[in-house]
Structure 1
Amino acid sequence: TGGILSGVLRLNAPLSFGIMHIAPLITDFMKENPEVRIDIDLSDKRIDLIAEGFDLAIRIGTLQDSSLIAKKISTARQMPCASPDFIKKHGPINTAEDLNNVPGLVYANSRTPADWAYVTPDGKAGTVHVSQRLSATNGDVLRDAAIAGLGVVNLPTFLLFEAINDGTLIPLMVDHDWSELDIFAVYPKTTILPRRTRAFVDFMAWRFDKNPHWNQIKPKA
């Protein structure tokens, strides 16, 4: 069924991803659909969509709630990074093992913030344990601390790609797989999904395609 989209879309999204990547998309969607109103809540805390009356949420990583429908809209790579200044002062970091006990800037909402798993190019799995210097529930804080030379960070590329591409952060062991995070749109199981919700999910999936811009890392030579 065609027709103009209208009504309110209540959306929850993680703070950093929401500001960097969902906010510009919302602007474009609302320009194309002037009758749609959007309420967005930005928080890294997992909320109960149904209890709190949200139509849609963006979730990154492992999904837990089976009462929701999930549509994968994109992916992001995890990548350890440090500033050129930190690497110069600390000494070269050429292997994953070199990260053991290095000052780490860690994401507190992770199940094992100071343990970073990886797979080498030849398929060997391992884990490094960093020394937890700064813990935060927000990735921007950690990225900026890494740029300031306080330690090594291991965050999704959607937070790091600009700093990597402009040379303020150096990616480490880029040939290793530091795990890939799936990005989902999740919504309650309902007999009829409002057209505005479906249209916004499709819009996100189109914009965040299978090879999103944040995964196209081009470090300065």
Structure 2
Amino acid sequence: MLEKKKLEDILFLDIETVPQHEYWKTLPKETQQLFELKTQYQRKEEFTAEEFYHKAGIWAEFGKIICISVGYFIEKDQEYQLRITSFDNESEYQLLVDFKNLLDTHFNLKKHLLCAHNGKEFDFPYIARRMVIHQIPLPEKLNLFGKKPWEVAHLDTLELWKFGDYKHYTSLSLLTHILGVPSPKQDIDGSEVANVYYKEQDLDRIVRYCENDTIAIAQLLLRFNNLPILKNENIVRV
């Protein structure tokens, strides 16, 4: 699929998000009203806005990023090794600044690409929107203003699997299962992240979950290119 792209030039990533406030009642009245309007189509008449608030983390206007995990390949002893690291500062502003610094200093060349699963619909725009909210200048890889489609340095494993079928959605769990990649969902899933964050206050557990997703995305790209997936000893968390 990507014969002309070097794996070492790709930064794989995944984000975890939660509602900005733990409880509905702590939201300002105007925010509650705007959330009610924003989610009207999704809720229909089945749920009130308050009952639906636990899903607020999926919208950048009402959620926040609590972890960004990234991975990149290096070639060592004629084998690929995947290096994994995470940005998980309690301050979302600082987390985003640290991630921006990584892009600006190490993944700022024309050859560099960002890769995520459903990244074009979720991860990339979510990060960019939260940066704008925090008044953080967008790194070049997230600044799409004025760019033509072929100039956007984004890869999306969901889009690659669609093969042009715009109606087709395949979850990361399903795709790893059918392609023989170890499942990233070994502990929690996305629906549990807010509870683990606010109730259990176990950010480390969320970071491990986010890193596992990032590893799975990198493994998928290997499979798409008919390359062997990595052994555990070739995955290094730094």
Q: Please indicate the TM-score interval, normalised by the length of the shorter structure.
A: under 0.3
Larger radius of gyration: 1
State the TM-score, normalizing by the size of structure 2: 0.25
**Which of structures 1 and 2 has the larger relative contact order (alpha carbons within 8 angstroms, sep 6+)?**
1
State the TM-score, normalizing by the size of structure 1: 0.27
